[in-house]
Copies of this chain bind each other. A is one copy, B any other.
């Protein structure tokens, strides 16, 4: 269970872009596609949202709107109205790690340069942002926000040489940027009529491309290239279906891809230092991504199910019922049940309306805690022994009241199995993790975690088990598909092992 409000673990953001294909203006309503794309990525950030569209003219008109909160409240009808004339655009949804949650920090960031306006949307966190900020400011640039996105934008603006040409060489500038900062970033850079989609050399954050097809041909398998209505690029492929696009491919680690109305073109792949493996964040699989997203050729749901199976092998239990903490742990629970042969039953149901009710603190209701979020399906487990599968335990304060609820309702035993290893280290690459001291795995009580949270037993998936459950699927994909086989496989497990993909320069 890693509900945002309980554990404080959160993704920083999601990025999304869209370019209408063919002659402009086309029938594809870019502003609507962008909005739906944002909604589909809302799980990656609920704090603010922003869209910038361009008409793609040689002297382009950019239109932007940003707002606090969910997309639904940040984008009232009048905002969509003013964005509607775009032929391409990029957008961003944000979950702040820094505590500065002001409209000013919202992305995409737009600046006017000698060559015209550029817009940048960024998912990730620059490991050397302090040094970069100083460098930029020493050049005489004032930075108006603390966001990496503004920093990237100004770096792109000032990269020497300051050519005063008709067509500035943005690709050279992006490459230059990539030599300044190794990770982590998935970037969308919009300039006039082009979106550059960029993934850092370690591929730490995801980025996928999709092809928009006519609705009429969506449900037929034979929609050919000639039917392309536009291109989308997104942190996660789950957003493609919701706007009627088909999965096309991932942006590769280090790759710069140009997306325009003329199609998708790979411009360059910036290499990692000799010997370094890719370092795609393994927690995207474990927790952050939506289960229907595809990374490295495999569906996230399937990986989670495989984690559950692996967990059943590593940490079996003698119980009557396997169940889940809804909803994120359900694939792992079903995997555990399948592997173990134990019956799967639901023991908790969620009250989907429990959100921000303005109950004052210091009351009995606060003591009830998580109880008000879950209904207990007593008859399914009263008098039985239960193993509850969770996807991760961060602070340990959420699972504890759930165990109490189950016992009170008649469970004779409650065992906890966690489908990921304990989190022990901070992330400096875009994930908001509590301080080391707050992590249950670093507390003295972790020695007797079962006693601490009130379970009959607690066991975690091993790091090796997790890595093999993740990489097993990639191997089978690579056998099938040639074009990915050249890519080495590797994942960032820093928060579990303390081994960071690059040296930290803080």
A238 proximity list for chain B (CB < 8 A) = 351, 375
CB distance from A46 to the nearest CB of B (A): 8
Stretch of A181-189, A269-277, A362-370 contacting B (4+ beta carbons < 8 Å):
A362-370
Find out whether the CB atom of A28 lies under 8 angstroms from the CB atom of B356.
no
A16 proximity list for chain B (CB < 8 A) = none
A404 proximity list for chain B (CB < 8 A) = 219
A349 to B327, CA, bound (A): 10
A230 to B378, CA, bound (A): 23
Find out whether the CB atom of B291 lies under 8 angstroms from the CB atom of A349.
yes
Find out whether the CB atom of B158 lies under 8 angstroms from the CB atom of A244.
no
* Residue interface bits A122-138, CB-to-B below 8 A is 1, else 0: 00000000000110011
**CB < 8 Å: which of B140, B292, B368 contacts A141?**
B140
Find out whether the CB atom of A157 lies under 8 angstroms from the CB atom of B144.
no
A28 proximity list for chain B (CB < 8 A) = 364
Chain B residue nearest in CB terms to A409: B241
A292 proximity list for chain B (CB < 8 A) = 349, 375-378
| Those of A97-145 within 8 Å (CB) of chain B | 103-104, 109-114, 118, 133-134, 137-144
CB distance from A42 to the nearest CB of B (A): 4
A367 to B27, CA, bound (A): 14
- With A71-B353, A379-B299 already in contact, the answer to whether A365 and B243 are too (CB < 8 A) is yes
Other contacts beyond A70-B353, A112-B142, A242-B351: 19, CB < 8 A: A29-B364, A32-B359, A35-B357, A42-B353, A75-B358, A77-B358, A79-B358, A103-B103, A112-B137, A113-B137, A137-B157, A140-B141, A140-B154, A218-B368, A242-B371, A299-B378, A301-B346, A330-B346, A334-B345
Binding site for B on A (CB under 8 A): 27-29, 32-33, 35-36, 39-40, 42-43, 70-72, 75-77, 79-80, 103-104, 109-114, 118, 133-134, 137-144, 146, 150, 153-154, 156-160, 162, 164, 214-215, 218-219, 221, 238, 241-244, 290-292, 298-299, 301-302, 330-331, 334, 344-346, 349, 351-360, 363-365, 367-368, 371-373, 375-380, 404-405, 407-408
Which 7 A-B pairs have CB atoms at the shortest separation, nearest pair first? A140-B158, A111-B142, A292-B375, A142-B157, A42-B353, A242-B372, A77-B358
The contact sample of 10 A-B pairs, CB cut-off 8 A, is A28-B364, A29-B363, A36-B359, A75-B357, A103-B103, A215-B364, A242-B371, A244-B367, A291-B349, A299-B378
